[in-house]
Structure 1
Amino acid sequence: MNRANQSSVSEFILLGLSRQPQQQQLLFVLFMSMYLATVPGNLLIILAISTDSRLHTPMYFFLSNLSFVDICFSSTTVPKMLTNHLFGSESISFCGCFMQLYFLIVFAYMDNFLLAVMSYDRFVAVCYPLHYTTKMTHQLSALLVAGSWITANLNALLHTLLMARLSFCADNKIHHYFCDVVPLLKLSCSDTHLNDLMILIVAGLLMIPPFICILISYILIACAVLQIPSTKGKWKTFSTCSSHLVVVSFFYGTIIAVYFNPSSSHSAETDTPATVLYTVVTPMLNPFIYSLRNKDLKGALRKLIVRKKLST
């Protein structure tokens, strides 16, 4: 990474969510609790799916990947914030900040792609149940996930390199608890029009198509559900998609609120609560949302816990 333009800044100061000591203590406990719920919760989902042969299907393959991404997503931001609080520090190195930015973009877009892939999987399962195994093969599932990882990493590399070409002068205080694109652009003393343009163009190309895919999938699913004669059958079919819909609403609602607005309209007061939702709260809630609404997954989790108790 070329540091020629960043000679004035060797580190950034993360101002966090609050400057009040009492609020900082409360936020530390809250974030620690959410992180300790996120990691074991998502790990349990992954273990339950991997150890139960009945769950070795595309749907649960995508869900286990989503759980892995959620662990990584929270681990990109929360541990650094907790560590800074414990040691009374607010700093993050220049390279550390850009690494955090890179992985944040990777995991955010992986969430985006996986939610779209999962909606397509549900569409095939509901609208073409007899052809599900031939349409959603293991090879196609692996290809979709691999393509998502490659695209997310290339996108993150693009934005990180564009950020690296900017100059950062005297001001190095980030009004956030992690290094995000918008706060960093505000600190730059260079022309950021290219960065702003690429955020809108690339984010639009990579966020809007998956979102449209989700909308179309659920419109077609709704049409298929309405054709089911019995109310019980309609509810049973819709319930298989309800968990995914809840997660989609959380994720896209906050992403649109933070990133699909002009730079002038951004502020720490409005952006920070939204970013907390999609970087911390949503990854924590995903295991509960999916496990509470899924009998097969609940059964696999019970078997895993019982097996663990018996082994001890």
Structure 2
Amino acid sequence: MNADPITFDYSTKTSVESALRISMTILFEKDMCSRGRSGSIEWAGVRNASPCGLVFLPPLIGGKASHQIGMFRWLTRKGYDLISFNYSGHGNTSGRFCLAATLRDTECMLAHAHHLASRRGIPLFGIAPCYSAIPLLYSADRLKEPLQGIVLINAVLRLNPGAVIRSFWAHYRKMFPAQIGIRKCLTALAHYADFLFPGIRKGRDRFGILERKRVRLCATLADFLTLDPLEWIQLQKTRVLCLYARQDRILKVYDGGAGTDYKDDVSRVCPRALFKTLDGDHFFSHQMTRDRVAMHIKAFLQTNGVFILDRSEE
């Protein structure tokens, strides 16, 4: 194992953190988790000297473990250990990417995280934004609900190719009214990807850190058209906090108002879910919204998932 002590100085991040003047030493871990005959998964984590919980952070497609660790590094200051990993085809994880592989990878790493949390004698939580909610909820069911609580952030729970195609067609018609052509379709597709995922490096050969040569293209397309991993899943024990934005472009692909239909989808899989709507977009671009997200996550974790929601803000 490559485990090197490093120091994070939080005093330079925000005015609040500057006022606190907190600097702490944590242990950074990076290692490989065996998948048996199918290779190994690269993972990374941070540890506190006396942790109060372990937070499992499944990655986003095209992202890597350090992205998720960096996004939620503020939780280490609250006493939580973090762990994330790279999907197949990403970083040093072996194999090639397809959507089905994200399910297998997440199940393997959630089992590993559960082992670590049990050995350390601390509760295990999960935080999943966007697509990563699907493999996390799927894996939680497969492993008989090892998580004390789950936070979903603008979570996508079904791929629904029909809704995506309708959304793209509406976007295409806005760009090219009454015009159809292969080149126009490719142009519209690139523009549509930028519309949904601004700021992410992408092109013919890559999406984020995921290179095309490491993708099983036919398998990924088949998965997109046929997979519905959560269709028959229902987490009866696990408490879930669902945070979602009113102006989320991605959620509106599935539910025009990101409202009743979306809540019904989440509640079907997570009957113990509580919902909190927030102003902002898919990426919570405004600092005030991000601060509120952090506040709700902290409250949920600190009460071990027993979260009292202000119904007036639901």
Q: TM-score, normalised by structure 1?
A: 0.27
Q: TM-score, normalised by structure 2?
A: 0.27
Structure showing greater radius of gyration is 1
Between structures 1 and 2, the one with greater strand share: 2
Between structures 1 and 2, the one with greater helix share: 1
